[in-house]
């Protein structure tokens, strides 16, 4: 079964606390996983950042929203218990608790409102608000990935519109940022011979030049097939090289990708999308427009011995 959205977890989570006792969030996750019949794969599915499971994140936000509405009390780090208001809500036997339900509480409206003041509160209470199925962190990460994909597409358009000399400079710059080539002059000599719509050469895998990588980089429209990769592997064999990187602005066919998995030499294929992603990761040709710091509570600061 798929991981339920965080609003669907609110009422079951509140029911867990109905006994009035303090409960650890870890225990609640186990009870909820059993109630929703979640398998190990469901519980272990990660957010795009890979730092937390989607299930744990949604349980945490369900608890946070209930606490902001005054239905739960955060007793200490990772623990909670029901409040008097929460007990009243359960006694009324609601069918569902969600954001719209919690908006009846002023504290929750203040929590959900970016600005203070009556105008903001009225804006929060306007009808036809979308029903959120994702937590704030999921929304933030999804927006980040969407913006990254858009940026990668724009990068590729710019690369394809540029000259072969520009592409040569770009690849050298990227390899240096990734730790290859030693110095700029070393990388330039190693890679800086322009070929037909691309560059070819040998570049140091480490700064001391103890190992080398044979490189082929081509501006390419469409799909690079297996024959082109076989030619590259033949060039590797002619130089007695065991490692190679083939970079293209296009894509690789399934045959090409399968071929490199079954040969003795280690060949890495970098298509246009991965090239753009690497440029973003290593900040080549891109600049940071704005930085947002997402902060969490420092529990150690508030713990008193």
Phi, psi of 235 (to 5 degrees): -65, -40
Contact assessment for residue 242 and residue 268, using Cβ atoms and an 8 Å cutoff = no
Dist CA 211 CA 228 (whole Å): 24
Q: Give the span between the Cα atoms of 100 and 65, in whole angstroms.
A: 11
Cβ(243)–Cβ(213) under 8 Å? yes
Q: What is the pLDDT of residue 121?
A: 41
Q: Report residues of the chain scoring pLDDT below 70.
A: 1, 114-131, 182, 185-199, 209, 298-305
CA distance 282 to 289: 15
| Phi, psi dihedral angles at 252 (to 5 degrees) | -110, 140
Strand intervals (E) in the chain: 23-24, 72-76, 79-82, 193-195, 198-204, 212-218, 223-224, 243-248, 251-252, 266-270
Structural domains in the chain, sorted by start: 10-133 (1.10.10), 153-281 (3.40.1340.10)
């Amino acid at each position: 079964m798929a991981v339920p959205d965080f609003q669907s977890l609110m009422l079951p989570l509140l029911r867990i606390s109905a006994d009035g006792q303090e409960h650890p969030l870890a225990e609640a996750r186990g009870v909820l996983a059993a109630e929703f019949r979640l398998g190990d794969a469901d519980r272990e599915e990660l957010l795009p950042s890979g730092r937390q499971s989607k299930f744990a994140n949604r349980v945490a936000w369900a608890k946070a929203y209930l606490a902001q509405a005054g239905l739960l009390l955060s007793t200490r780090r990772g623990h909670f218990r029901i409040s008097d208001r929460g007990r009243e809500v359960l006694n009324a036997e609601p069918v569902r608790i969600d954001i719209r339900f919690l908006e009846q509480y002023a504290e929750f409206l203040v929590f959900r409102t970016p600005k203070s003041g009556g105008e903001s509160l009225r804006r929060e209470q306007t009808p036809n608000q979308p029903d959120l199925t994702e937590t704030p962190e999921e929304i933030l990460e999804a927006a980040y990935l969407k913006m990254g994909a858009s940026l990668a597409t724009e990068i590729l358009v710019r690369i394809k519109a540029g000259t072969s000399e520009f592409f040569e400079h770009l690849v050298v710059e990227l390899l240096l940022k990734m730790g290859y080539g030693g110095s700029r002059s070393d990388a330039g000599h190693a890679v800086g011979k322009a070929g037909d719509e691309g560059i070819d050469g040998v570049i140091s895998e480490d700064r001391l030049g103890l190992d080398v990588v044979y490189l082929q980089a081509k501006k390419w429209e469409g799909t690079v097939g297996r024959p082109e990769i076989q030619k590259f592997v033949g060039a590797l064999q002619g130089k007695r090289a065991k490692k190679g990187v083939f970079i293209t602005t296009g894509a690789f066919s399934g045959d090409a990708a399968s071929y490199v998995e079954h040969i003795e030499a280690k060949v890495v294929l970098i298509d246009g999308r991965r090239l753009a992603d690497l440029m973003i990761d290593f900040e080549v040709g891109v600049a940071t427009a704005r930085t947002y710091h997402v902060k969490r509570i420092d529990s150690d600061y508030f713990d008193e011995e």
